[in-house]
Amino acid sequence: MSLTRTELFVDGHWRKSSDGSTFEVVNPANGARLQAVSDATAEDVRDACQAAASAFAAYRKTTVKERTAILHKIRDLLLESKKEIGEILCLENGKPLAEAEGEVGFAASFFDWFGAECRRAYGQHIPPPAGDRQLVTVKQPCGVAAIITPWNFPIGMLARKTAAALAAGCSVVIKPAEDTPLTALAFAAVCERAGLPRGLVNVVPCSRGRVAELGRLLCAEPLVRLLSFTGSTAVGRLLYRDCADAVKRIHLELGGNAPFVVFDSAPLELTVRGALAAKFRNTGQTCVSTNRLFVQAGIYDRFVEALAEGMKKTLQVGDGMVAGNNQGPLINKRQLEKVQALVADAMAHGAQVVMGGRQPPQGGLFYEPTLLTSVSRQMRLYTEEIFGPVVAVYKFSTEEEVIQMANDTNMGLAGYFYTSDYQQSWRVAMALDYGLVGVNEALISTCEAPFGGFKHSGFGKEGGQQGLDDFMETKYICFGGLKL
Enumerate the active-site residues: 253, 287
Chain-centroid distance, C-alpha 25: 21
Number of Cβ atoms within 10 Å of the Cβ of 473: 15
Q: How far apart are CA 99 and CA 320, in angstroms?
A: 9
> What is the dihedral sign for C-alpha 99, 105, 109, 115?
positive
Q: How far apart are CA 364 and CA 123, in angstroms?
A: 54
End-to-end Cα separation, the chain, in angstroms? 65
Compute CA distances 79 → 85, 111, 132, whole Å: 10, 11, 53
- Whether the Cβ atoms of residue 457 and residue 123 lie closer than 8 Å to each other: no
- Whether the Cβ atoms of residue 251 and residue 459 lie closer than 8 Å to each other: yes
Q: Which residues contact 76 (CB under 8 A, 6 or more apart)?
A: none
CA angle 363, 369, 371 (to 5 degrees): 135
Number of Cβ atoms within 10 Å of the Cβ of 408: 14
- Whether the Cβ atoms of residue 398 and residue 240 lie closer than 8 Å to each other: no
3-state secondary structure of 92: helix
3-state per-residue secondary structure call for 256-292:
CCEEEEECCCCCHHHHHHHHHHHHHHHHHCCCCCEEE
Q: What residue type is assigned to position 448 of the chain?
A: E
Q: What would the DSSP string read from start to end of 163-204? A: HHHHHHT-EEEEE--TT-HHHHHHHHHHHHHTTPPTTSEEE-
- Whether the Cβ atoms of residue 288 and residue 388 lie closer than 8 Å to each other: no
Q: How far apart are CA 59 and CA 354, in angstroms?
A: 57
The partner residues of 219 in beta bridges, in order of sequence, read none
- Whether the Cβ atoms of residue 158 and residue 145 lie closer than 8 Å to each other: no
Half-sphere exposure of 253 (CA within 13 A, CB side): 27
